[in-house]
Copies of this chain bind each other. A is one copy, B any other.
Amino acid sequence: MADDGPLKMADVARLAKVSMSTVSRALADNPLIPEDRRREIQRIAAEAGYVINQSARSLRMRKTQTIGVVFPLGHDVGQLISDPFFIEMFGRLADEITTRGYQVLLCRVTDTSDGWLNRIIQSHRQDGLVIVGQSDQHAALNQAAESYHPLVVWGGHLSGQVYCSVGTDNIGGARRAVDHLLGLGRKRIAFLGMLELPEISLRYEGYVRALRAAGIEHDPALVIPAHFSFETAYEAARELIEGGTAFDAIFATSDIIALAAIQALAAAGIDVPGQVSVVGFDDIAIAAQSTPPLTSVQQDLAKGAKTIVDLLFKRMAGEDAPSATLLPKLVVRKSCGGASAA
């Protein structure tokens, strides 16, 4: 066998008494090589335990059989990939991608200094890119999309958007959630979220529209900035509670924020849903299991992931794929009282 390192294609060629070209073609099932000989060479290679070196292959073919999944966490320092929403999305994406025979490369981006996206693209580590969440990088994405096509973003659809995105109808989802709260007779509905993020600002838009449609004065004091981590969200909720502004409902822009709020309310002795109704966003797995079970705007991640990957592969094939919007569904559970309360 080999002297030291693992086998190279040249070794297999020697074993099979043919040239490297022939081995390469045989392993690639190239019909230029007669079928029986192909099988023979494949057998020899397999028996010798030979495996193609992907580094070399990638260089020569300019293809890596790998999809990069990027989480731009620039906006929220310290948010780890352990975040439930990201994690669930990642799992779904991974399933879709591996099913198609590609590898998944995870890129956590913390340094969103100039050209971060270009640095990823030009590294040629992947054949296509999924960006999970726009963060505050709308401009960078737009710019990259001009020259780099195999790129799909999970996030809201923004005006003046060049890149291909897949996301929930944020305005509609928020609208539905707030309408539901209004339907329960709630009038002082707080909004928890970071307006700086495009998706959240769309949800804010839906919130405002719902209030306006109900003829309710929109009180800026009820809009509280809240990051995506449990701890900071908890603080934000406490701020709201102790701020003294009266409120009877909370529309949280993520389930994590909603859960943190519920806990903060409980700590303050405020009953959910008795005194305050709470609605979240995402409908992550824990939502159904919390106490009380959380009403939430469901994003169908399974479908979202499939759509993203479908579009990405179309784009990788050179076709032009348009953005897509998924319809969110309000899942009503006990945390906002009313309808489904036992």
Chain A positions near chain B (C-beta within 8 angstroms): 6-7, 46, 49-56, 58-59, 62, 64, 66, 80-84, 86-88, 90-92, 94-95, 98, 103-108, 115, 118-119, 121-125, 285-286, 289-291
Contact = CB atoms under 8 A, between A and B. Distances in A.
B82 A88 contact: yes
A60 to B, nearest CB: 9
Nearest to A83: B91
Contact of A104 (B6, B98, B106): B106
Contacts of A123: 51-54
A87 B91 contact: yes
A66 B291 contact: no
A81 B95 contact: yes
Which of A56, A59, A290 has the most CB atoms of chain B within a 10 A radius of its CB? A59
Contacts of A81: 91, 94-95, 98
Contacts of A290: 289
Contacts of A80: 91, 95
Contact of A59 (B56, B83, B84): B56
Contacts of A62: 55
Given A51-B119, A51-B123, A55-B58, 7 more contacts: A46-B115, A53-B123, A58-B58, A59-B59, A82-B95, A87-B90, A98-B107
Contacts of A56: 59
Contact of A103 (B53, B88, B105): B105
Contact of A286 (B6, B55, B286): B286
Q: How many chain copies does the complex carry?
A: 2
Contacts of A103: 105-107, 125
A55 B106 CA distance: 16
A52 to B, nearest CB: 7
Contact of A51 (B82, B83, B107, B122): B122
A125 B82 contact: no
A92 B82 contact: yes
Contact of A55 (B55, B87, B119, B291): B55
Contacts of A50: 122
Which of A50, A83, A103 has the most CB atoms of chain B within a 10 A radius of its CB? A103
A122 B91 contact: no
A106 B90 CA distance: 11
A81 B92 CA distance: 7
Contacts of A91: 80-83, 86-87, 90
Contacts of A125: 54-55, 103
A244 to B, nearest CB: 30
A100 to B, nearest CB: 11
A98 B90 contact: no
A286 B81 CA distance: 17
A342 B50 CA distance: 62
Contacts of A98: 81, 106-108
Which of A106, A108, A122 has the most CB atoms of chain B within a 10 A radius of its CB? A106
Chain A to chain B: the 6 pairs with minimum beta-carbon distance, closest first: A51-B122, A82-B91, A104-B106, A55-B58, A55-B59, A98-B108
A118 B59 contact: no
